[in-house]
Amino acid sequence: MVPWRGVIEEYRKFLPVTDQTPIVSLNEGNSPLVSAQRLGKKICPQVHLLLKVEGANPTGSFKDRGMTLAVSKALEKNAHALMCASTGNTSASAAAYGAKAGLAVYVLIPEGKIALGKLAQAMMHGATVIEIEGNFDQALTIVKELCSGGEFELVNSLNPFRLEGQKTAAMEVCDQLGGPPTIHVLPVGNAGNISAYWKGYKEYYTAGQISHLPKMVGFQAEGAAPIVRGHVIEDPQTVATAIRIGNPASWKLALQAVEESGGSIDVVTDEEILVAYTSLAKEEGIFCEPASAASVAGVNKLSEAGLLPEGATVVCTLTGHGLKDPDTAVMSSTKPRRVKATREEVSALLGI
């Protein structure tokens, strides 16, 4: 068996690379597609629920699929420095791929609202990390201005190569499943990923690899739901810091994906997100970050509303690893019990 070579090599014919493109890869992709039998039985017994575990990527999120291509293309045109605004995962991925490529990386993050693991990653990979006294949307505005000079290569999803790389996840789902799902559900923040998946499914369809297209369904956090509300949210708030975004860059593309596919976009509350987050960990053995669980919280909501057709195949993308956000994990779980280091004390505690 040929070992996995990363998404550019595996899906090369669908991507804008040539023999001259220097490929910067950490062998991203090939993430598990796991059947969620226990949780599925509980929240949506009428369908087959599967989880695309993107936390299994090299830096722990789906961003690596787009970053491999964006950084390869940056190197191809002799860029010296990368820059992005980020709620955390983009900065972690940019920092890692930038390190691999030998490029300088500058990341702007919203003060106090990025999960600890993601901050640690950007710092460890040697990026210059700038905390701004503001939110993600403000950071992105500054980054766009700074990158317009051409000195820095923008690696946010406004960079078209990001979405090109990320579309490989849709193709992978089809390859793993032996066809497309009926419905594909994703959390929506800056709205790039849902747009990328739709592009991937459409291109696989056009290439004759699949015979029909899934419905694309997105979920935003209730306090950060500009697309659902139909207007920019000035001060977005949610426990799912990854999707704490009030003015998504790919707003129009996401709406297009939903409309063209006959899907939908709706909100889930922070409470619903945390219930799904905990259930995934306790019932499926999958530790994802809160934003990722918005997809499963959404499936629960669709099921309760009777909107999941009998016998459908539903894939949820779990976008990032739970270890990214240890604070929320510890806050959401039972604390360890502390006893003296004797057998008696442990036995007493256990009631045995």
As a whole number of angstroms, the distance between CA 83 and CA 152 comes to: 6
Please give the Cα distance from 33 to 52 (Å, whole number).
Answer: 4
Nearest residue (CB) to ligand AN7, 73 versus 113 = 113
The nearer residue to ligand AN7, 6 or 192, going by C-beta atoms, is 192
**What is the smallest separation between the CB atom of 23 and ligand AN7, expressed in angstroms?**
23
Instruction: Choose which of 8, 71, 171, 191 interacts with ligand AN7 (CB under 6 A).
Output: 191
Name the H helices within 262-307.
270-284, 290-304
Q: Which is nearer to ligand AN7, 79 or 169 (CB)?
A: 169
Q: Which lies closer to ligand AN7 via its Cβ, residue 79 or residue 188?
A: 188
The region, left, alpha or beta by phi > 0 then psi within -120 to 50, assigned to residue 285 is left
| Binding map of ligand AN7 across residues 114-153, x = CB under 6 A, - = no contact | ----------------------------------------
Whichever of 88 and 200 has its CB closer to ligand AN7, that residue is 88
Rounded CA gap, 80 and 93, in Å? 17
- CB of residue 89 vs ligand AN7: minimum separation in angstroms? 4
Nearest to 295 by CA among 314, 310, 281, 309: 314
- Determine the 3-state secondary structure of 311 from DSSP: coil
From 88, 110, 200, 236, residue interacting with ligand AN7 (rule: CB under 6 A)? 88
Q: How far apart are CA 238 and CA 154, in angstroms?
A: 26
247 lines the binding site for ligand AN7 (CB under 6 A): no
Cα–Cα distance measured from residue 171 to residue 168, given in angstroms and rounded to the nearest whole number:
5
- Binder of ligand AN7 out of 71, 119, 217, 291 (CB under 6 A): 291
Residue ranges binding ligand AN7 (CB under 6 A)? 61, 86-90, 157, 187-193, 242-243, 289, 291-292, 319-320
